[in-house]
Structure 1
């Protein structure tokens, strides 16, 4: 399935309102179990849209530093 900007907008709207059920532009309805699952779906859609447009997906970097003893 190729995702569209409308799909991303539907996910963002659901996250903003706290809804767990999303209706996409093609008429499909999906009920997510949690906001965390919605956030994962959002990231997946963003990555798919980015790769389809030729851009590399966003990646995060976490550093954990500690002062020596």
Structure 2
């Protein structure tokens, strides 16, 4: 299934409220436990990250001197 940011938002709202029911537009999903809901959130996040493609590298520069 292709997940969207809206799916992730709905799951995160349910977790924040302590609910086990998530509604996506015309669908309703009831999870057995909050732990199962958290696993679903992690799966959706992973799918969204992999669909976004490779991330660019971030270079961090640290300066230990007194400044300019």
TMscore range, shorter length: 0.7 to 0.9
The residue that corresponds to 2:32 in the other structure is: 33
Residues 32, 54 of structure 1: alpha-carbon distance in 2 compared, 3 angstrom cutoff: same
TM value normalised by structure 1: 0.74
Task: Note the residue ranges of structure 1 that are not aligned, 5 or more in a row.
Answer: 57-69
Helix, strand or coil: the match of 1:3? coil
Larger Rg: 2
Structure 1 runs of 4+ with >3 Å offset: none
Task: Note the residue ranges of structure 2 that are not aligned, 5 or more in a row.
Answer: 56-68
Quick one: distance in 2 between partners of 1:43 and 1:30?
Answer: 16
Quick one: distance in 2 between partners of 1:42 and 1:20?
Answer: 12
TM value normalised by structure 2: 0.75
Quick one: distance in 2 between partners of 1:36 and 1:55?
Answer: 29
The residue that corresponds to 2:21 in the other structure is: 21
